[in-house]
Amino acid sequence: SEKDREFQEKIDRGVRIEANDWMPEGYRKTLIRQISQHAHSEIVGQLPEGNWITRAPSLQRKAILLAKVQDEAGHGLYLYCAAETLGISRDEMTAQLLSGKAKYSSIFNYPTLTWADIGAVGWLVDGAAIMNQVPLQRCSYGPYSRAMIRVCKEESFHQRQGFDIMRQLCQGTDDQKAMAQDALDRWWWPSLMMFGPSDKDSVHSEQSTKWGIKQNTNDELRQKFVDQTVPQAGWLGLTVPDPDLAWNEEKGGHDFGEPDWSEFHEVLRGNGPCNRDRLAARNKAWDDGAWYRDGLTAHAEKRRNMVAEGAA
Amino acid sequence: SEKDREFQEKIDRGVRIEANDWMPEGYRKTLIRQISQHAHSEIVGQLPEGNWITRAPSLQRKAILLAKVQDEAGHGLYLYCAAETLGISRDEMTAQLLSGKAKYSSIFNYPTLTWADIGAVGWLVDGAAIMNQVPLQRCSYGPYSRAMIRVCKEESFHQRQGFDIMRQLCQGTDDQKAMAQDALDRWWWPSLMMFGPSDKDSVHSEQSTKWGIKQNTNDELRQKFVDQTVPQAGWLGLTVPDPDLAWNEEKGGHDFGEPDWSEFHEVLRGNGPCNRDRLAARNKAWDDGAWYRDGLTAHAEKRRNMVAEGAA
Amino acid sequence: MDPLVTFCLRMGDTTLILGQQTAAWCGHAPVLEEDIAFANMGLDLIGQTQLWYEIAAQAEGQGRTPDDLAFFRTERQFLNAQLVERPNVDFAHALMRQYLFDAWHLPIQEALCESGHQAIRELAQKSVKEVRYHIDRSRDLIVRLGDGSEESHAMMQGALDALWPYAADLMAIDAVEQALVGIGMLPPLDRVACAFEAETAVTLDRATLAIPGNGHARTGGRTGIHTETMGYILAEMQQIPRSFPDARW
Amino acid sequence: MDPLVTFCLRMGDTTLILGQQTAAWCGHAPVLEEDIAFANMGLDLIGQTQLWYEIAAQAEGQGRTPDDLAFFRTERQFLNAQLVERPNVDFAHALMRQYLFDAWHLPIQEALCESGHQAIRELAQKSVKEVRYHIDRSRDLIVRLGDGSEESHAMMQGALDALWPYAADLMAIDAVEQALVGIGMLPPLDRVACAFEAETAVTLDRATLAIPGNGHARTGGRTGIHTETMGYILAEMQQIPRSFPDARW
């Protein structure tokens, strides 16, 4: 249609789309799906890291981790707000998460088993997330773009903190070094999977690219992540658990092995190590908190009635 | 009445009263109160000791503690059965415990704060309990008397195990010795209070003695306990926390200080350190288990119906 | 032990254990805003803990670090008020525990702003701003949930009934504080209990909550006597440092 | 590590962690008879743990004691099946976990009665009697509560749905077991999984419970990969020995 054409021209000229602008239903839906999925990831992402707050091994690390988990909840908040500008309520999105209908980043279905996992999650998972998110700062939809600018700033801080945990472990006792290597071994492949399947196998990519929602292919970002991370692992004295990993002078980047995509699809289908536990934790929090939400609503109601009576 | 007189004669002749024999209402009530209170004490007594099963510091100590707590639950079972012979159901007694109407031994309203407390509870609390219970093996009511014979045998085993924990601690590191002394400091006075107030202040004593339910005065038993325990403390190298404690050659026993009876009465009134927590734990266990009890009843019902149909 | 060290441990242990309990709600609170608020309060409390432990460690002069104090003492050596170790039964308990703590924490921090000990004075001047923010938030929630639905009222009253007896342990003052008042290191602390009474009387009344009558005072935390929940908190908190005693993190 | 040591740790860690979880019900079960039964099962499981650790310690020959193995290893060194570390959500979970464990434990102990390793054979001959008693009890309860009230049915089905995926970890066999079978130290273990399938198919059917269809197998415990509940179990279990590393108890 004419409107669709005009919309595409705006995108192509680099004009930001704002909440009250006309937009195609598909664009709206794609963004709602993507932003809410991103918000849910921040919310569920509190769980694997929150798992170590009470057990962080120093007061300083405890404070840093608390601040990080707080930031994640904050990111969830901005992102829900950005999604709400597209005409969906936070309660609707929450219901979709809790019923299992909405997805969140599969990486959070892996468990954090040792303190080193908190380092690895910051270093690798936040590292991969930033790769994915940096281009989104230039996303065609204004509210999402602005949310991402704020998110990215904090995420790169988190990544540095994660790396610092790894650094301390790698400079520590033999037990600590082994712990760091073990965490890298377990988080490496799931981190590579965070970029999604190869673009040739990815369903939504083409239209999203045209709409200025997606800027790079999954494979480009994965390559960039590997090229950034491998030297860091080297600096730490850790071994990346990929026998096929090798520097390719010609392409100016690393060759590396293929992640186990059957595992990826299993986790996506709900069969990852923690899918059940994550959803159960979120559902419990929501159900146990019903009295709280109802109580605040009842109080607000009372207040309104008092004001109305006062006015009458 | 004539019956009362005959009953008293039986008692005086040392004849055991059995469940189907005639007995005065007061005798029945006194026994129900005392036996159910004793049963409740075994049940609630699982909690302070059970608190350390998951944290017992060696596999052997863990096994011994588990066996002990299992014995206590078993004692609860015999004693409820003994009380049931007097015409009250276990459910009625449980309801009385859970509502706070029935009492249990106040000692279990003190917390077990360190592993040494498990030693002290075995040594002192079981020690005091045995002093109270040994005479009850000769109680005029047959079912109670027989239950107590079984209970006493196991209790004296528990006491030896508690003492053995203390012995190991007192032969251990400085930290362990300090832990043992600290436990004695905290459990000494509450243990002395287990014999109840001085007989001159005790309400039920006289009639119970006449009925052959009570054989010794509270003060006699307390004296016996002190005289038994003080040399054991000495052997362990621990200091009994009573500045008035002294050997009295003339009476052939120890002089000792007066427990803080205001504390005793506070605990009895529900204001001890753990009264609330103990009742809450028992109520939670009962409420959370409703589905289990109802489920078994429903299954039994189904079975009965099937049998009835088969028979028809 | 030097009364100054004891006092700082009483304060720092109390903020640490509350911070630990508060932080456990991250990701499990009834709404996202509470996830954030509880993380934020936890963060402030851990920060205050570090400051108290620094003063304690310095006064003690035995080379122990704040982390040594947090991770290598046993239950009987922790001097926190019993209130803060009471369990996270439900979110009502968490809110009420926080409120009762705040109602004490604000006046004591205000008092400590006049401490004769420079580091304590500076700590208090920094913390008091955080604490004001905490109590504004928790007071508001107590009122709204106490005077909310029938269920929320019942939840909050249940939490108050369970926790009120432990408030006394916050206010407990003994020879330690008296000694420090005597040498001018602490200002007189009587007004703290008065302020607590005034704050709670007004707020709980607005919240339509009844202060339990038979609330016998539970004390002992300040001398290392705790409740049975405390050991489990420490087991979890100290696990990693105790498992790797030679490691730095 | 010597396959024999690994195998004994897999067995002993599994009985230890289940014993730990089982024992936590003492004083908190729905009826007094269950308090007693759970204490009794816990006792048997701890006893079996001691025997497995003795064989492991002896085979290892590094002077470690059974207590060293229980209290001074870290999470990644524990080789128990994930099933037994799943939390005590409610008593239905506790019963279902026990039943699924028993349904594996009986056939493996029966198989081990024919082990070529004398100490293992003796252990199995002793344990198998206990295990028979356990499964008689837990099978009976699964049937009665599954085919009980609507609520008890729903509780047991919920527990089955949650726990079934973890049963696979009990049956997991790798090069360790294969090596031991190869040298005749273990009898072939294939029949264990068959016996498990047969036992559960019949019993769960009698209990009117449906085996979850999408039950993807969760494994990893046997190589030290656990679930997030495991760390908390160890923190509690190991607290005292780790806090006083020089002490004997």
Complex-level ipTM: 0.95
Q: Is D26–B53 a contact, with Cβ atoms under 8 angstroms apart?
A: yes
The residues with which B246 forms a beta bridge, in sequence order, are B255
Chain C: closest CA distance from residue A59 (Å): 6
How does pLDDT run across C166-179, given as a tens digit for each residue? Answer: 999 999 889 999 99
Please classify residue C183 by burial: count the beta carbons closer than 10 Å to its beta carbon, then call 0-12 exposed, 13-18 middle and 19+ buried: exposed
Is C119 in a helix, a strand, or coil? helix
- Measured in whole angstroms, the distance separating CA B14 from the mean position of its chain's CA atoms is 26
Contact indicator for B23, B81 with CB cutoff of 8 Å: no
Closest residue in chain B to residue D70, using alpha carbons only: B59
Decide: residue B69, CB within 10 A, 0-12 exposed, 13-18 middle, 19+ buried.
Answer: buried
State whether residue D116 is helix, strand or coil: coil
Q: How far is CA B135 from CA A167, B130, B140, B214, B215, in A?
A: 69, 9, 11, 8, 6
Other CB atoms within 10 A of residue B194 CB: 22
**Does residue B158 carry a pLDDT above 70?**
yes
pLDDT at A203 over 90: no
* Cα dihedral D156, D159, D164, D165 in deg (nearest 10): 160
At C1 the pLDDT is 83
Q: Across the interface, do C228 and B270 touch by the CB < 8 Å criterion?
A: no
D213 lies within 8 A of chain A by CB: no
Under 8 Å between Cβ of D92 and D159: yes
pLDDT at D213 over 90: no
Which residue of chain C comes nearest to B175, CA vs CA?
A: C74
Question: In the predicted model, is pLDDT for residue B277 greater than 90?
Answer: yes
pLDDT band at D190 (very low <50, low <70, confident <90, very high): confident
| Position A145, amino acid | S
Q: Taking each helix axis from N to C terminus, what angle separates C3-23 and A59-84, rounded to the nearest 10 degrees? A: 30
Q: Which has the closest alpha carbon to C158: C167, C169, C166, C146?
A: C146
* Exposure string over C199-236, b if 16+ CB within 10 A, otherwise e: bbeebbeebebeeeeebbebbbbbebbbbbbbbbbbbb
Radius of gyration, alpha carbons of chain B: 22
Cβ–Cβ below 8 Å for C226 and B113: yes
Whether residue B198 contacts residue B261, with contact meaning beta carbons closer than 8 Å, is answered with no
Interval A132-179: pLDDT, tens: 999 999 999 999 999 999 999 999 899 999 999 999 999 999 999 999
Q: Please judge whether D228 and A114 are an interchain contact, meaning their C-beta atoms are less than 8 angstroms apart.
A: no
Q: Name the 3-class secondary structure at B241.
A: coil
Look at residue B303 and tell me whether its pLDDT is greater than 90: yes
Q: How confident is the model at residue A201 (pLDDT cuts 50, 70, 90)?
A: low
Question: Could you read off the pLDDT tens digit of each residue along chain C, which spans 249 residues?
Answer: 899 999 999 999 999 999 999 999 999 999 999 999 999 999 999 999 999 999 999 999 999 999 999 999 999 999 999 999 999 999 999 999 999 999 999 999 999 999 999 999 999 999 999 999 999 999 999 999 999 999 999 999 999 999 999 999 999 889 999 999 999 899 998 899 999 999 999 999 999 999 998 666 888 999 999 999 999 999 999 999 999 999 999
Q: How far is C184 from chain A (nearest CA, A)?
A: 30
- Mean pLDDT of the region B220-224: 95
Give the whole-angstrom CA distance, residue B158 versus residue B126: 7
Question: Residue A204 has what pLDDT?
Answer: 66
**Nearest-angstrom CA–CA distance, B259 and B201:** 14
Tokens 């004994």 sit at which residue? D8
* CB of A126 closer than 8 Å to CB of A155: yes
pLDDT class of A207 with cuts at 50, 70, 90: confident
Percentage of chain C beyond pLDDT 90 is: 94
Residue C216: the pLDDT is: 66
Q: Taking 80 as the threshold, does the pLDDT of residue B203 lie above it?
A: no
Any idea of the CA torsion for A278, A281, A283, A289, to the nearest 10 degrees? -150
Residue B201's pLDDT is: 67
Q: Tell me the C-alpha distance between A125 and A192, whole Å.
A: 9
* Per-residue confidence band for B199, with pLDDT thresholds at 50, 70 and 90: confident
Q: Please write the tens of the pLDDT for every residue from D14-61.
A: 999 999 999 999 999 999 999 999 999 999 999 999 999 999 999 999
- Are the C-beta atoms of residues D104 and D168 closer than 8 Å to each other? no
Residue contact D90–B288, C-beta within 8 A: yes
First to last CA, chain B: 53
| C240 interfaces chain A, CB cutoff of 8 Å | yes
Rounded CA-CA distance D66/D80 in Å is 15
Confidence of residue B204 (pLDDT cuts 50, 70, 90): low
Contacts of B310 (CB under 8 A, 6+ apart): none
**pLDDT of the residue at C86:** 97
CA separation, residue D102 to residues D142, D144, D146, D188 (Å): 12, 17, 17, 19
Q: Rounded CA gap, B82 and A205, in Å? A: 76
Mean per-residue pLDDT for D172-180?
93
Are B278 and B109 in contact by the 8 Å Cβ rule? The answer is yes
Asked if C213 reaches chain B (Cβ–Cβ under 8 Å), the answer is no
Which of D68, D233, D237, D243 to mutate to test binding with chain C, by most C CBs within 10 Å of its CB? Answer: D243
State whether D228 and A277 contact (CB < 8 Å): yes
Cα separation, D43 vs D20, whole angstroms: 10
Contact C147, C115 (CB under 8 A): no
Query: Cβ contact (<8 Å) for D239 and C245?
Result: no
Q: What is the pLDDT of residue C201?
A: 96
Query: Please, are residues C171 and C192 in contact by the beta-carbon 8 Å criterion?
Result: yes
Judging contact as 3 or more Cβ pairs under 8 Å, the answer for C and D is: yes
Residues in chain D closer than 8 A to C234 (CB atoms): 239
This prediction has a pTM of 0.96
Q: pLDDT digits over B263-274, tens only?
A: 999 999 999 999
Chain B residues lying within 8 Å of C214, measured CB to CB:
270-271
What is the full DSSP assignment across A14-45? TPPB-TTS---HHHHHHHHHHHHHHHHHHHHH
CA distance D29 to chain C (A): 19
What string of DSSP letters covers D171-216? H---HHHHHHHHTTSS---HHHHHHHHHHHHHHHHHTT-PPPTT-P
What distance in Å separates residue C234's CA from the closest CA in chain D?
A: 9
pLDDT at A195 over 70: yes
Tokens for A196, please give them: 């999604």
At A188, the amino acid letter reads W
Whole-number mean pLDDT of chain D?
A: 96
State the nearest Cα–Cα gap between C235 and chain B, in angstroms.
Answer: 9
Please report, in angstroms and rounded to a whole number, the separation of the first and last CA atoms in chain D. 29
Q: Which two tokens stand for residue D223?
A: 């190589």
Beta strands B246-248 and A253-255, pairing class: unpaired
Rounded to a whole number, what is the distance in Å from the CA of B285 to chain C's nearest CA?
15
Residue to test with chain D: of A49, A115, A277, most D Cβ within 10 A: A277
Beta-carbon contacts of D80 under 8 Å, excluding residues fewer than 6 positions away, are: D10, D13, D14, D16, D17, D18, D221, D226
Which 8-state DSSP code applies to residue D78?
-
Interface of D with B in 135-154 (CB under 8 A): 143-145, 147-149, 151-153
Minimal Cα–Cα distance from D245 to chain B, Å?
Answer: 10
pLDDT (mean) for B202-223: 84
Rounded to whole angstroms, the Cα distance separating C101 from C80 reads 12
The angle formed by the CA atoms of residues B78, B229 and B35, to the nearest 5 degrees, is 20
| Relative orientation angle of helices D3-23 and D32-60, to the nearest 10 degrees | 160
| pLDDT, position A312 | 65
Provide, as residue numbers in chain A, all residues whose Cβ is less than 8 Å from the Cβ of D85: none
- The residue among A40, A54, A94, A164 with the most chain C CBs within 10 A of its CB, best to mutate, is A54
Please give the helix or strand (H or E) that residue A246 lies within, else none: strand A246-248
A66 falls in which pLDDT band (50, 70, 90)? very high
Model confidence band, residue B310 (pLDDT cutoffs 50, 70, 90)? confident
Tokens of B285: 């266990």
User: Residues, chain D, total?
Assistant: 249
Other Cβ atoms less than 10 A from the Cβ of A223: the count is 19
Give the C-alpha distances (Å, rounded to integers) separating B57 from B53, B161, C130, D68, D78: 9, 15, 41, 11, 18
A neighbour chains, 3+ CB pairs within 8 Å: C, D
The pLDDT tens digits for A258-288 are 999 999 999 999 999 999 999 999 999 999 9
Question: In terms of C-beta distances under 8 Å and separation of at least 24 residues, what long-range contacts does B82-87 make, across chains too?
Answer: B82/B35, B82/B141, B82/B143, B82/B144, B82/B146, B82/B147, B83/B31, B83/B32, B83/B35, B83/B36, B83/B39, B85/B19, B85/B143, B86/B19, B86/B28, B86/B31, B86/B32, B86/B35, B87/B28, B87/B32
Give yes or no for D63 touching B (CB within 8 A).
Answer: no
Distance CA D80, CA C5 (A): 44
Under CATH, to which class is D3-243 assigned? mainly alpha
pLDDT tens for D79-89 read 999 999 999 99
pLDDT at residue B210, as a whole number? 87
Distance CA D103, CA D84 (A): 13
Angle at B64 between CA B58 and CA B66, to 5 degrees: 100
Lowest mean pLDDT: which of A198-212, A282-296, C10-24? A198-212
pLDDT at B134: 92
Cβ contacts (< 8 Å) between D234 and chain C: which residues? 239
